[in-house]
RNA sequence: GAGCCGGUAGCUCAGCCGGUAGAGCAUCGGACUUUUAAUCCGGUGGCCGAGGGUUCGAUCCCCUCCCGGCUCACCA
């Protein structure tokens, strides 16, 4: 914990502001952290109303608007001053004039600091340079800011501070604000799209006794009263499919998953996925659905289906390319076809490439290994990769013609997996065997066999397809953000030192 | 978990072969009634990430640790 601010605070800039605030209260009768102030105009609305008007037009407008916001820049000339202040909707210039405000009020204004939150009111004018401005008739200090903001020109570059003190980042980095607003819009648009297609949003347990539905190490926690260990979920999948058994035909959940794995520019321990399940649909239906949804979300939020990610142009206009895993690996990854068809040759290929297989892998596992190491990053996409090996897809329905593969696809864009979907395995006996095999192989993250899920399947789950889309990664793509930490407001970091 | 890079004033950054700390912005004082990174003059401000070592002397060299970034591994 940090010490509360005191006059002894080592930072002289903070000390100065505290003293200034005390003086304002004592000498200038400033209210102490007032609660009530009624603003009636957002900056964006003000700009929309008057932005196009000429200086002459505005001279005739005497309507007084009440604003509130944070002081971001001050340019002072003795008896008159300009500031910029910002609210949630934008940034606006205000003109403070001694002749207009009077001696006392102007003296108070001169004591304001960058970062202070003020209420101010006045009528619109345009300055000589044509900038829409409030001609201030009065103002009030609403909240004193005791800590100095980063400088106006270079802004905040230190990633550590940007992530740890996101509030500062949001104040001074317009791109951060717009990225997080875009994230909100993207999630809203997805939700609207799902709702519009008859999907029902549900919430399933975050705390689970068996962490199933994916292969990843879970976080462990404990309930005291029940004296029971619990896992934070790694996926909602098995619960959502229980709902299909229960009679919901289209369900989705947008929420957090927790995976106790490494951290990188593409991985945060808690991340957001949408998972959705549709009865009486198969994975090919979901390919069409996915390309329609993502492209229309892009159109809605960005106004275009053509985006650029880190300099790389991507066209999200459907339909998207489709490739089997084997063909993609051969055609795009440049892997000889027999290395994808013969286990011994696959093993030899892996060893030759330094992939260090353990030697007991099945052909399917080797195929995935080869695909991931040679081909994934070449999938600029958007491209659907289908026909995954059965061994690496424990929850997917086997293909009817070829049981060595499953009816599954993953969506890749700029070499990254954005979505994973498949026709659901609803044969309880097959499912039991595949679970048992996973347990047998002691796959990491497989805690124990979820017998209740098998029991649910025994009641009968309708034929269905389901999909998970990584929201954070989708937002990265659509906001051109290089790191997942740029699209998560408060990414997980080590406990930092406040100094 | 491994490798590489980084941490110097509130912020953004310099700091040479080891000689005891600098700039811009912010801040404080002064001038200034239409500025746009306002301008001009003068100041304040530093546990040089932490600890240890080498040295007459360490921001600088060595070791350990902490925090961050990137790449890789695990994963999505």
- Provide ipTM, 2 decimals: 0.91
- Of the candidates A419, A426, A416, A418, the one whose C-alpha atom is nearest the C-alpha of residue A408 is A419
Whole-angstrom Cα distance, residue A271 to residue A269? 6
For the stretch A136-139, contacts whose Cβ atoms lie closer than 8 Å and that sit 24 or more positions apart, written own/partner, are A136/A94, A136/A95, A136/A96, A136/A97, A136/A100, A136/A101, A137/A64, A137/A100, A137/A101, A138/A101, A138/A105, A139/A96, A139/A105, A139/A109
DSSP A275-302: EEEEET--HHHHHHHHHHHHHHHHHHHH
The predicted structure's pLDDT at residue A4: 42
Q: Is the CB of A310 under 7 A from strand B?
A: no
Q: Which bases in strand B are touched by protein, i.e. have an atom under 7 Å from a CB?
A: 1, 10-13, 24-28, 31-39, 44-47, 49, 66-76
Q: Is the CB of A249 under 7 A from strand B?
A: no
Whole-angstrom Cα distance, residue A218 to residue A395? 18
Q: Is the CB of A76 under 7 A from strand B?
A: yes
Within A 466-495, residues with CB less than 7 Å from strand B: 470, 472-473, 482-485, 493-495
3-state secondary structure A184-211: HHHHHHHHHHHHHCCCEECCCCCEECCC
- Of the candidates A182, A201, A181, the one whose C-alpha atom is nearest the C-alpha of residue A191 is A201
- Of the candidates A240, A254, A266, the one whose C-alpha atom is nearest the C-alpha of residue A189 is A254
Residue found by looking up tokens 């951060």 in the block: A176
b/e code A166-190 from CB counts within 10 Å (16+ = b): bebbebbbeebeebbebbebbbebb
Tokens at A425, concatenated: 């395995």
Q: How far is the CA of A158 from the C1' of B67 (A)?
A: 12
Q: Which nucleotide is nearest to A216 (CA to C1')?
A: B75
Residues in chain A: 499
Whole-angstrom Cα distance, residue A424 to residue A395? 7
The predicted structure's pLDDT at residue A380: 86
Q: Is the CB of A47 under 7 A from strand B?
A: no
Whole-angstrom Cα distance, residue A444 to residue A259? 12
The predicted structure's pLDDT at residue A177: 94
Q: Is the CB of A152 under 7 A from strand B?
A: yes
Within A 413-432, residues with CB less than 7 Å from strand B: 417, 420
pTM: 0.92
Within A 361-380, residues with CB less than 7 Å from strand B: 373
pLDDT means per 10 residues, chain A with 499 residues, are 44 88 84 91 97 92 96 94 96 96 92 95 95 96 94 90 94 94 97 97 94 88 93 94 96 95 92 96 95 96 94 93 92 87 86 76 87 87 91 87 92 92 93 85 67 94 96 95 95 75
| Cβ within 8 Å of residue A228, ≥6 positions away | A209, A222
The predicted structure's pLDDT at residue A497: 58
Within A 439-458, residues with CB less than 7 Å from strand B: 444
Strands A65-76 and A228-232: unpaired
Whole-angstrom Cα distance, residue A357 to residue A343? 12
Q: Is the CB of A105 under 7 A from strand B?
A: no
Q: Which amino acid residue lies closest to nucleotide B72, measuring CA to C1'? A: A264
The predicted structure's pLDDT at residue A151: 86
Q: Is the CB of A158 under 7 A from strand B?
A: yes
User: Is residue A236 left, alpha or beta, with left meaning phi > 0 and alpha meaning psi from -120 to 50?
Assistant: alpha
Any bridge partners for residue A231, and if so which? A208, A220
Whole-angstrom Cα distance, residue A499 to residue A38? 37
Q: Which amino acid residue lies closest to nucleotide B73, measuring CA to C1'? A: A262
Coil, strand or helix at A404: coil
């Amino acid at each position: 914990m940090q010490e509360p601010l005191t006059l002894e605070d080592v930072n002289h800039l903070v000390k100065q502001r505290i003293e200034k605030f005390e003086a304002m209260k004592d000498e200038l009768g400033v209210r102490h952290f007032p609660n009530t102030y009624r603003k009636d105009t957002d900056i964006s609305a003000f700009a929309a109303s008057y932005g196009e008007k000429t200086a002459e037009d505005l001279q005739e407008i005497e309507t007084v608007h009440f604003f509130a916001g944070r002081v971001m820049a001050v340019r002072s000339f003795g008896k008159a001053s300009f500031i910029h202040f910002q609210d949630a909707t934008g940034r606006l210039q205000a003109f403070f004039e001694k002749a207009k405000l009077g001696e006392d009020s102007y003296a108070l204004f001169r004591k304001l600091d960058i970062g202070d939150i003020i209420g101010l009111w006045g009528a619109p004018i345009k300055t000589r340079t044509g900038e829409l401005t409030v001609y201030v008739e009065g103002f009030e200090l609403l909240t004193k800011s005791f800590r100095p903001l980063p400088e106006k020109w270079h802004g905040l570059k230190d990633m550590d501070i940007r992530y740890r003190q996101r509030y500062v980042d949001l104040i001074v980095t317009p791109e951060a604000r717009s990225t997080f607003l875009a994230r909100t819009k993207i999630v809203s648009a997805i939700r609207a799209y799902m709702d519009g297609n008859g999907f029902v949003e549900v919430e399933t347990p975050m705390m689970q006794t068996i962490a199933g539905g994916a292969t990843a190490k879970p976080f462990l926690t404990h309930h005291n009263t029940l004296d029971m260990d619990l896992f934070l979920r790694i996926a909602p999948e098995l619960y959502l499919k229980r709902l299909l058994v229960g009679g919901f035909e289209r369900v989705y959940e947008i929420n957090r998953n927790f995976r106790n794995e490494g951290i990188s520019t593409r991985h945060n321990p808690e991340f957001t996925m949408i998972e959705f399940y549709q009865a009486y649909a198969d994975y090919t239906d979901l390919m069409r659905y996915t390309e329609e949804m993502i492209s229309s979300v892009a159109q809605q939020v960005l106004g275009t289906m053509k985006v650029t990610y880190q300099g790389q142009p991507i066209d999200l206009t459907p339909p998207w390319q489709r490739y089997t895993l084997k063909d993609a690996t051969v055609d795009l990854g440049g892997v000889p076809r027999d290395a994808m068809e013969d286990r011994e040759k696959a093993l030899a290929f892996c060893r030759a490439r330094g992939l260090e297989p353990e030697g007991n892998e099945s052909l399917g596992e080797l195929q995935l290994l080869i695909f991931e190491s040679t081909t994934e990053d070449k999938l600029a996409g958007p491209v659907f990769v289908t026909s995954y090996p059965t061994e690496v897809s424990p929850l997917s329905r086997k293909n009817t013609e070829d049981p060595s593969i499953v009816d599954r696809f993953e969506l890749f864009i700029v070499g990254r997996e954005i979505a994973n979907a498949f026709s659901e395995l609803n044969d309880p006996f097959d499912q039991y065997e595949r679970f048992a095999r996973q347990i047998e192989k002691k796959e990491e993250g497989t805690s124990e066999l979820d017998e209740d899920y098998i029991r649910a399947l025994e009641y009968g789950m309708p034929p269905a397809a389901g999909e998970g889309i990584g929201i954070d990664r989708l937002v990265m793509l659509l906001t051109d953000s290089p790191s997942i930490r740029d699209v998560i407001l408060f990414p997980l970091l080590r406990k930092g030192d406040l100094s």
